[in-house]
Amino acid sequence: MKLNEDDLYRTSTQFRQWSFTAEQLAAQRAKTNLQATERVKLNVARQRAQRVQAAELDSTSGNSGIDGSGANTPNAVTSDKEVDCLTVTEEMTFVEEFCERTMALGAHCKFSDNVIATCVQFLRRFYLYNSPMTYHAQNISRTAMFLAGKSESEHQSLDHFATNISSEKTKVTPEQILAPEYLIVQALRFNFDVKHPFRALKGGVLDMMSIANGKYEGPNHSIHKTAADLSTAIHQLPRKTGGLAAKATSQQLADRIMRESYSPAAQTLKKTAALTDVYFLYTPSQIWLAALLLADEPLVLFYLSVKMPSTSPVYEKVIVALRECALILSSHRSHQKLHLPADEQARMDAEHRAEVKRLIKKLKLCQDPDKLDLVKLNQAQKRDAVQGSDLDVHKAKRRKMDRENFQKDSDTFWGPELPTYGAKPA
Amino acid sequence: MSKVTSRANGGQVRQGEAGGASPLSKSLYSLSLKPSSRPRTDAASDVCPVCKSSRYLNPNMKFLVNPECYHKMCESCVDRIFSHGPAPCPIAGCARTLRKGKFREATFEDLKVEREVDIRRRVASIMNKEESDFETLKDYNDYLEQVEEITWNLILKIDVDETNHRLQRWADAQAAETGATRRTYEPDPSMAGASGVVLKKGGTQRRALETSSGNTTDTNVKDKGFNFHGLKKKVAPPPEAPFDPFDGWSIAPQYYTLQNDYDADWLTKHKREKEQLVGGYQWSDFYNRALQDAFGGLTVFIDDEIRARDIPSGDAAIGTERAATAAAGGQDVNMDDIF
């Protein structure tokens, strides 16, 4: 019984739980959006009714509003307009923006590329089943970063991380980071492993280099039979598809593979691939080849023709998949920007910023009022919840007494007294 | 005797259960377990037959016997006579060669009983078949009967040499069959004429003895000494296959062959780092993992395979129902404090 690389990949949770067809993805997003919209409208209506009731009571007793906190900026409850919820596209733009911000956050915390990419995938997976209207991406992204650091074994202690991401304007407490942790983990269905195409790209480039050096030993389905033939063939590859074949020196070829192909492909993977849906739609192997295809098409096609017979239908299918994946990557804003003049780039950025600003403002008016304070929600679920009643105070006091007594006893020379069975404990 | 009664019962009764007791066994019982009615101050039993010293003079006197001849003598006599090596028994008319190491205290007062017990123990260690080794109960009972016969032959000194030889052959055959270490049968020392302890003998004599014993074992390889009817053939268990932790599965990469080394500028830089010299780190592991990643899922077409799975994704895949509701944006799963 033999397993090949594909079988191994099929066992991963990324394939089993987090791979979708484009339609499924769209349907799931629409469903999430619909559910969130209904909930937000319902909750807002309920809270507004409560507010009106309270206001009526207050008018008789002469108190101020029910919550004085959000006095200056209206939120979904305090504004009197009809709730205008985000659409699916707006949600996606919003999440994407926060993915980008998270990348900056990760870089600020000096996390490695792996952690940042994992965190972005956590966010994307989380917002597949949750709407930013329910849980604000600001809160979720911090915790996702903390979680990603842990799952990629680059743990930063909670306090250190909290001070790291706090700025003068916004103070982040450890409780704020921990509050949605379980929520996220559960939305991720406890799948912490994200398979990235980074190491895969390195492996592939190493393999190409061994072809270039004439030391290739793997399967060979091309017309060039020996390793030396392959080496000459790769040296004569045209620079562009349909271009003229030109003999390159081995130094030029190494430069071409490492500088002109590998580096841009790595950049694409790090930035663009994380911001698009390719992780859901394609396998890491296809993603790195697609990124490389954008950088150096003749090289990838030659490489593939070595790896599998070009007459087989699978070869055609792989090429089609790679081109589709490459299209998704190249049509993304962050990739398009690279090939535009500076003023055009600035214009695009400005446009994007304006759009994001509008969305953040809009989200403020359609945020689910029940899920605003995650810290409080988290605490409410814990033992000895903070809604302090007399009974709770009594209980806490008794527990404290017990604990102190035990501590005192255990400090004595022979330790605490053993319980005497049958007799009534003192 | 018991033989007759068991036959009358159709041989379907386990002989051990049927009492199986011979008159001697009964006498053995009455002698050993019943409190002795004889007075302890028996003059004859308390005087050493060799040195004639009595318990009266030496209250701590202990009597020892040697299973060669079962003659009783006191401890000090044994020390005196046998300290310097094997010597003939001092009892008149015996003259067997005894060794000090074999002397022991008698368990039973009646030395006949002591001897029978010794013989039975020896025979039982060789004839150690169980009921499960036989095809039918009758065969097993026949076997037990034959064992009893052998035992009685030895006890009553009938065909002793012949029986001992057969027992030896049986022991050899059993050892050969199980592949166990050879269990040597020690024939009853009180019987054997030639195979007793050899005092200093001439080289020729010793050699002659060796060849003769060698001859006997050679000729007796073919027959096993005894032939029991209905004895099951011993089937050796099949040899255990070497342990395979992966249960026959192995990883066979389809798109790459791992090479010993790969060249790249950034690699050579890393390879020179001191950290890479740590024991247990192997570059081949990195190469293998990187290449496995590079081609893992190259021909997995998610669009086709997920569709073929034909399950609305997100439902079947979710571990628990509660997680499903939470993941689908329903209400949160309560975080239960386990304490």
Concatenate the DSSP letters of all residues of B188-217 into one string.
Answer: -TTT-SSSS---S--HHHHHHHHHHHHHHH
A92 and A120 housed in the same domain:
yes
Tell if the CB–CB gap between B302 and A289 is shorter than 8 Å: no
Which pLDDT belongs to residue A21? Answer: 92
Share of chain B above pLDDT 90, in %: 23
- Whether residue A426 is contained in a domain is answered as no
> CB neighbours (10 Å) of residue A139?
21
Counting one residue from chain A and one from chain B, the pairs whose CB atoms sit within 8 A come to 184
Closest CA to A371 of A74, A134, A66: A134
Chain B residue nearest residue A22, CA to CA: B303
Tokens of A284: 């890491």
* Distance separating alpha carbons of residues B134 and B140, to the nearest angstrom: 6
Q: Which amino acid is present at A254? A: A
Please name the member of B249, B257, B329 whose beta carbon is closest to the beta carbon of A129: B329
Chain A (228-267) residues lying within 8 Å, Cβ to Cβ, of chain B: 254, 258
Identify the residue with better confidence: B89 or B187: B89
A326 and A248 housed in the same domain:
yes
- Whether residue A268 is contained in a domain is answered as yes
Give the three-class secondary structure for B270. helix
- Whether residue A14 is contained in a domain is answered as no
Query: Tell me: the pLDDT tens digits for B188-234?
Result: 666 554 444 444 544 455 454 444 444 444 444 457 778 888 888 87
Task: Indicate the number of domains in chain A.
Answer: 2
User: Looking at residue A240, what DSSP letter applies?
Assistant: S
> CB neighbours (10 Å) of residue A42?
13
Tokens of B22: 């011979």
A153 and A213 housed in the same domain:
no
Give the three-class secondary structure for B231. strand
Give the three-class secondary structure for A180. coil
| Segment holding A358, helix H or strand E | helix A342-364
- Whether residue A168 is contained in a domain is answered as yes
A125 and A204 housed in the same domain:
no
- The answer to whether A382 contacts chain B (CB < 8 Å) is yes
Concatenate the DSSP letters of all residues of A125-192 into one string.
Answer: HHHHHS-TTTS-HHHHHHHHHHHHHHHTT----HHHHHHHH--SS----HHHHHTTHHHHHHHTTT--
* Distance separating alpha carbons of residues B91 and B102, to the nearest angstrom: 17
* Distance separating alpha carbons of residues B184 and B195, to the nearest angstrom: 14
A109 and A90 housed in the same domain:
yes
Identify the residue with better confidence: A361 or B22: A361
Q: How close does chain B come to A280, measured CA to CA in Å? A: 9
A42 and A161 housed in the same domain:
yes
Which pLDDT belongs to residue A34? Answer: 94
Report, in angstroms and rounded to the nearest whole number, the Rg of chain A calculated over CA atoms. Answer: 29
A171 and A61 housed in the same domain:
yes
Chain B (217-256) residues lying within 8 Å, Cβ to Cβ, of chain A: 248-256
The neighbouring-strand residues paired with B98 are B87
User: Looking at residue B134, what DSSP letter applies?
Assistant: B
Query: Tell me: the pLDDT tens digits for B246-303?
Result: 888 998 998 999 988 888 878 888 888 888 777 888 889 999 999 999 999 999 999 8
A155 and A179 housed in the same domain:
yes
Give the three-class secondary structure for B330. coil
- The answer to whether A3 contacts chain B (CB < 8 Å) is yes
* Distance separating alpha carbons of residues B187 and B192, to the nearest angstrom: 7
| Segment holding A330, helix H or strand E | helix A313-330
Which pLDDT belongs to residue B282? Answer: 85
Q: Is B22 within 8 Å of B3 (Cβ atoms)?
A: no
Which pLDDT belongs to residue A271? Answer: 92
Tell if the CB–CB gap between A284 and B329 is shorter than 8 Å: no
A143 and A211 housed in the same domain:
no
- The answer to whether A17 contacts chain B (CB < 8 Å) is yes
* Distance separating alpha carbons of residues A89 and A132, to the nearest angstrom: 12
Tell if the CB–CB gap between A283 and B297 is shorter than 8 Å: yes
- The answer to whether A406 contacts chain B (CB < 8 Å) is no
Torsion sign, CA atoms A353, A357, A359, A363: positive
A138 φ, ψ (degrees, to nearest 5)? -60, -50
A209 and A173 housed in the same domain:
no
- Whether residue A96 is contained in a domain is answered as yes
Q: Is A378 within 8 Å of A178 (Cβ atoms)?
A: yes
* Distance separating alpha carbons of residues A151 and A188, to the nearest angstrom: 12
B87 φ, ψ (degrees, to nearest 5)? -145, 160
pLDDT along chain A (426 residues), means of 10: 90 92 93 92 90 83 47 68 88 93 93 95 94 92 95 93 88 91 91 94 93 89 88 88 80 89 93 93 95 93 91 92 95 87 90 93 88 83 59 77 83 74 56
Q: A311 burial class (0-12, 13-18, 19+ CB within 10 angstroms)? A: exposed
Q: Specify the length of chain B in residues.
A: 339
**Residues of chain B with C-beta less than 8 angstroms from the C-beta of A251:** none
Closest CA to B284 of B296, B294, B295, B292: B292
Q: How close does chain A come to B238, measured CA to CA in Å? A: 24
Q: What is the mean pLDDT of chain B?
A: 75
**Boundary residue ending a domain (A187, A219, A238):** A187
- The answer to whether B290 contacts chain A (CB < 8 Å) is yes
A183 and A202 housed in the same domain:
no
Distance of CA B20 to the CA centre of its chain: 27
Please name the member of B293, B297, B330 whose beta carbon is closest to the beta carbon of A199: B293
Please name the member of A39, A284, A321 whose beta carbon is closest to the beta carbon of B296: A284
The residue among B244, B246, B250, B255 with the most chain A CBs within 10 A of its CB, best to mutate, is: B255
Q: How close does chain A come to B325, measured CA to CA in Å? A: 10
Query: Tell me: the pLDDT tens digits for B37-78?
Result: 444 455 556 888 888 888 888 888 889 999 888 999 999 999
Tokens of B61: 């006197």
* Distance separating alpha carbons of residues B195 and B170, to the nearest angstrom: 18
- Whether residue A358 is contained in a domain is answered as no
Q: Which residue has the tokens 């304490």?
A: B339
Closest CA to A371 of A76, A33, A54: A76
Tell if the CB–CB gap between A21 and B306 is shorter than 8 Å: yes
B50 φ, ψ (degrees, to nearest 5)? -95, -55
The residue among A191, A282, A285 with the most chain B CBs within 10 A of its CB, best to mutate, is: A285
Q: B8 burial class (0-12, 13-18, 19+ CB within 10 angstroms)? A: exposed
Which pLDDT belongs to residue A412? Answer: 77
Q: How close does chain B come to A168, measured CA to CA in Å? A: 33
Query: Tell me: the pLDDT tens digits for B317-330?
Result: 445 555 555 555 54
* Distance separating alpha carbons of residues A147 and A111, to the nearest angstrom: 12
Query: Tell me: the pLDDT tens digits for A290-347?
Result: 999 999 999 999 999 999 998 889 999 999 999 999 999 999 988 888 888 889 999 9
A37 and A182 housed in the same domain:
yes
- Whether residue A363 is contained in a domain is answered as no
Which pLDDT belongs to residue B266? Answer: 82
- Whether residue A42 is contained in a domain is answered as yes
**Boundary residue ending a domain (A187, A218, A246):** A187
Report, in angstroms and rounded to the nearest whole number, the Rg of chain B calculated over CA atoms. Answer: 39
**Boundary residue ending a domain (A303, A338, A373):** A338
Please name the member of A6, A203, A308 whose beta carbon is closest to the beta carbon of B300: A6
| Segment holding A209, helix H or strand E | helix A198-212
B304 φ, ψ (degrees, to nearest 5)? -70, -45
Which pLDDT belongs to residue B323? Answer: 54
Structural domain boundaries enclosing A262: 198-338
What's A66's domain CATH number? 1.10.472.10
> In chain B, which residue ranges form alpha helices assigned H by DSSP?
2-8, 23-32, 75-82, 111-126, 137-155, 160-178, 203-219, 265-271, 283-295, 302-309, 321-327
Give the three-class secondary structure for A37. helix
